[in-house]
């Protein structure tokens, strides 16, 4: 891939991280008026409608082969649906700190899946990038004052979130192969549609109990943003970016989301932005840099060190 195309793909994934980073505070607005399951079902329905409009507009539809449709169904069931359901159940059962840290494990899950299934190579620079990125998430969580808890009351939620990000890792890794035959619009539209149908089966009783006329405009606007930008546009671009950069490198951009979240909170909500959070943002960015340059900086430093040792001898 040429440098310009590489930079373009990186900019696209930065945009995705921005959409996802500001999504949690926007979701909180809607969740103040709607229970988690009905709220998520609403944004899934919105996402499904927008995804199909985009697919029709793109004129990129082509019939799925039987094996490919089976793969799309499995990606929906064990990937995107597991993520949506377990994320919804997990967030309300554990602390915000646990949630942020566990979702920051996505690059680790992607690396493990690639290693076990022998799909993409996990190089040393990618490994260093993952470690720095994960360390950065820890610093941001600690610096934000979010509680990390191993109390039994929070373990169930933590396990749900661990399953959620593992499901998203599965979806991230195995969606790439479909891009050689189908457009990102078609893949995303089908995955969101299948996931929405499955999610409705789980959430219909809770949705029936909601007085939808009593939900204010702010609640619906929250679901519209989350459905359109975080779900539809975000996943259109995410799958496309994974296809261009590969899943191990692309997964690191997921951990930029908390950086955008704390920056947005500082600029618009007057929330604190301390040195630990700044150090975390630097660590995540450094991890991306090392991965992007394939460790060129480290290799130069090691070479200079060996040259100095030779001179000293």
Query: Which of the residue ranges 116-130, 216-230, 268-282 has the most confident prediction, judged by mean pLDDT?
Result: 216-230
Q: What percentage of the chain's residues is helix, strand, coil (to nearest 5)?
A: 85, 0, 15
By the 10 Å C-beta count (0-12 exposed, 13-18 middle, 19+ buried), 36 is classed as middle
| Predicted local confidence at residue 274, as pLDDT | 84
- Distance, in Å, from the CA atom of 23 to the CA atom of 225, rounded to the nearest integer, reads 8
pLDDT at 273: 77
Q: Is the pLDDT of residue 99 over 80?
A: no
Instruction: Check pLDDT > 80 for residue 92.
Output: no
Number of structural domains (the chain) is 1
CB neighbours of residue 261 within 10 Å: 22
pLDDT tens string 294-308: 755 555 655 565 555
Least confident of 176-180, 270-274, 288-292, 306-310: 306-310
Q: What is the mean pLDDT of the chain?
A: 89
Domain assignment of residue 169, given as a range: 3-312
Q: Which long-range contacts (CB under 8 A, 24 or more apart) does 196-202 make?
A: 196/41, 196/44, 196/45, 196/47, 196/48, 198/76, 198/77, 198/81, 199/40, 199/41, 199/44, 199/81, 199/84, 199/85, 200/41, 200/44, 200/45, 202/37, 202/85
pLDDT for 307 equals 55
Q: How confident is the model at residue 312 (pLDDT cuts 50, 70, 90)?
A: low
**pLDDT of the residue at 223:** 97
pLDDT at residue 143, as a whole number: 79
CA–CA separation, 131 and 135 (whole Å): 6
Confidence of residue 141 (pLDDT cuts 50, 70, 90): confident
Reported as a single tens digit per residue, the pLDDT across 165-181 is: 999 999 999 999 999 99
Q: Quote the CA–CA distance of 281 and 93 in Å, as a whole number.
A: 27
Average pLDDT over residues 49-65: 97
């Amino acid at each position: 891939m040429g440098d310009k195309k590489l930079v373009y793909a990186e900019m696209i994934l930065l945009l995705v991280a921005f959409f996802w980073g500001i999504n949690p505070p926007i979701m909180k607005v809607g969740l103040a008026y709607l229970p988690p399951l009905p709220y998520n079902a609403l944004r899934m329905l919105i996402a499904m409608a927008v995804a199909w409009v985009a697919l029709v507009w793109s004129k990129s539809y082509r019939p799925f082969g039987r094996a490919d449709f089976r793969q799309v169904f499995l990606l929906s069931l064990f990937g995107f649906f597991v993520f949506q359901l377990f994320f919804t159940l997990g967030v309300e059962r554990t602390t915000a700190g646990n949630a942020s840290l566990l979702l920051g494990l996505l690059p680790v899950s992607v690396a493990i899946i690639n290693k076990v299934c022998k799909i993409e190579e996990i190089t040393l620079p990618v490994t260093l990038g993952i470690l720095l990125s994960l360390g950065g998430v820890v610093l941001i969580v600690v610096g934000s004052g979010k509680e990390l808890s191993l109390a039994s009351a929070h373990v169930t939620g933590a396990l749900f979130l661990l399953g959620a990000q593992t499901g998203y890792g599965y979806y991230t890794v195995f969606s790439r192969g479909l891009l050689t035959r189908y457009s990102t619009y078609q893949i995303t539209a089908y995955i969101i549609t299948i996931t929405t149908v499955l999610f409705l089966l789980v959430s219909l009783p809770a949705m029936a109990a909601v007085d939808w006329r009593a939900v204010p405009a702010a609640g619906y606007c929250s679901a519209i943003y989350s459905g359109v930008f975080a779900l539809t546009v975000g996943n259109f671009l995410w799958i496309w970016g994974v296809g261009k950069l590969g899943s191990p490198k692309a997964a690191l951009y997921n951990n930029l989301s908390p950086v955008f979240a704390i920056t947005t909170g500082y600029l618009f909500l007057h929330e604190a932005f301390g040195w630990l959070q700044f150090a975390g943002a630097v660590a995540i960015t450094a991890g991306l840099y090392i991965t992007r340059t394939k460790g060129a900086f480290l290799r130069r430093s090691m070479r200079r060190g060996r040259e100095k040792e030779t001179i000293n001898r």
